[in-house]
Amino acid sequence: MRYIIALYEIDRAYGGPEEGGWFFDTGELVRLLALAPTETRALHLAERANRLLSRLQRHRRPVSSVAYDGGRHTAIVYEWTAPAVFPEVRPLYA
Any domain includes 68: yes
Any domain includes 94: no
Any domain includes 71: yes
Any domain includes 90: no
Structural domain harbouring 28: 3-82
Ranges 3-7, 72-76, 86-90: which has the least confidence: 86-90
Any domain includes 8: yes
pLDDT on residue 30:
97
Looking at the structure of the chain, the number of domains it has is 1
Any domain includes 56: yes
Any domain includes 89: no
pLDDT tens digits for range 33-81: 999 999 999 999 999 999 999 999 999 998 888 888 888 999 999 999 9
Closest Cα to residue 82, out of 6, 2, 1?
Answer: 6
Cβ-in-10-Å burial (0-12, 13-18, 19+) of 3 comes to buried
